[in-house]
Amino acid sequence: MITTPQARTLERKSVVYNFSAGPAMLPAPVLKKAQSELINWRGLGISVMEISHRDPVYLQMTEECEQDLRDLMSIPSNYAVLFMHGGGRGQFSALPQNLAKGDDQLDYLNTGIWSDYAIREAKKYVRQVNSLNVMGEEDGLKCVKPQAEWQLNANAAYFHYCPNETVDGIALHQVPEVSVPVVADMSSVILSEPLDVSKFGVIYAGAQKNIGPSGFAVVIIRKDLLETQQERVCTVMNYKVQAEEKSLYNTPNTFAWYLAAEVFKWVKAEGGLAAMAELNQRKSALLYECVDNSRFYRNTIHGRNRSKMNIPFQLADESLNAQFLKEAEAEGLIMLKGHRFVGGMRASMYNAMPYAGAQALVDFMTRFEKAYAK
Ligand SMILES: *Cc1c(COP(=O)(O)O)cnc(C)c1O
């Protein structure tokens, strides 16, 4: 039995595939590079954590970081890029304070757990937050109702949605066509495929899924939207201040920023977002095919709204859950337990997950089914 964290480390196979939803696996070459330069960064003889965030060497890193992200996502010049504190949920509070007045109206699409948290937070700062309950069912499968059925408000200060619901495994693969600025929580889908940034007012993402360490966030905002904040906005969360200060109003999470910069370089070297999209498509198709071709496993989300990043699946016989997890872990396939709200299993496969990881999971699932199917 693997019980303690220590035992876990000792018993790990040489190859471990980490399916954690977040904080999630980082690209191995990035971790190796960070390790190799940990005590001597850019020839300074000290680590990146021990240097002023206003030192020219550090500033050069932040500039490269922003440029790499701009290159990767083709971010137009009328957008500012902010590197902020407080992860994804920090932005749940920052958005309404920065983009709306207290008596404005806001539209929030409610497609799952993260949308719902965002809505609850927005209600603290803006009186009228319309929660658009758009989840429906088709052929017995969960789906997002077509846009024609959404009760949109043309007077909303902005429209918020979560293109990839990390817990529920529900995705919107098209950007909604609305007449107000679109704000998207891309925490678990940013950098996974090419995107037309110009369709958005704000794109934001907590870093710990596809960018780097937790507690850090990226905000991409159309510059004209920097002008509408409430009278009192917590200064470190003030988009306008952070844009003017190049995200250096106070001491940023310098190590997280550095690792994010290394991840961007890695994505570029791998061929950019087109290459990521192709890889993510192949990995997710492989796993969905395995689930769909079996009566032993199931996924209850309509094909139209299936996530390519987070794939929840259930065993038909839930009493086998513990056995499944134990055997998977013994094979180096770890962190497959579903979210506590959803149960079952969940495989998160962000950019850093190689195709071999998806293949190893599917091979294991096929063997497990053969061994336990009645
Ligand atoms: C993980 C996640 C968050 C929350 O991020 P924190 O950094 O924990 O605040 C928000 N939205 C989505 C879609 C997420 O996946």
Neighbouring residues of 20: CB distance < 8 A, sequence distance ≥ 6: 334, 335, 348
Closest residue by Cα to atom 5, ligand 1, is 88
Q: How far is the CA of 46 from the centre of ligand 1 (A)?
A: 32
pLDDT of residue 182: 98
State the fold for domain 5-21+271-372: Aspartate Aminotransferase, domain 1 (3.90.1150)
pLDDT digits (tens, 9 = 90+) for 309-350: 999 999 999 999 999 999 999 999 999 999 988 889 999 999
Query: Is residue 108 within 8 Å of residue 115, measured between CB atoms?
Result: yes
pLDDT of residue 12: 53
Q: Give me the percent of the chain exceeding a pLDDT of 70.
A: 97
pLDDT of residue 342: 85
Domain ranges in the chain are 5-21+271-372, 42-269
pLDDT of residue 341: 86
Annotation marks residue 185 as catalytic: yes
Q: How far is the CA of 310 from the centre of ligand 1 (A)?
A: 13
Q: How far is the CA of 136 from the centre of ligand 1 (A)?
A: 24
Closest residue by Cα to atom 14, ligand 1, is 187
Tokens of 240: 């306008």
Q: 87-91, 187-191, 224-228, 287-291 — which is least confidently predicted?
A: 224-228
Atom of ligand 1 nearest to the CA of 90: 9
Answer yes or no: pTM beyond 0.85: yes
Residue 228, pLDDT > 90, answer no
Residue 8, pLDDT > 80, answer no
Which amino acid is it at 252?
Answer: P
Atom of ligand 1 nearest to the CA of 207: 7
- Pocket test residue of 20, 89, 342 for ligand 1, highest count of atoms within 8 A of CB: 89
Residues in the chain: 374
pLDDT band of 101, cuts 50, 70, 90? very high
Number of CB atoms found within 10 A of residue 47's CB: 16
Dist. CA 186–CA 104, nearest whole Å? 24
Neighbouring residues of 103: CB distance < 8 A, sequence distance ≥ 6: 126, 127, 128
Residue 2, pLDDT > 50, answer no
Helix (H, G, I), strand (E, B) or coil at 106: strand
Angle subtended by helix axes 254-269 and 56-73, to nearest 10:
40
Catalytic residue among 41, 68, 104, 114: 114
Annotation marks residue 268 as catalytic: no
Q: How far is the CA of 223 from the centre of ligand 1 (A)?
A: 24
Tokens of 104: 């404005």
Annotation marks residue 104 as catalytic: no
| Architecture per CATH, 42-269 | 3-Layer(aba) Sandwich (3.40)
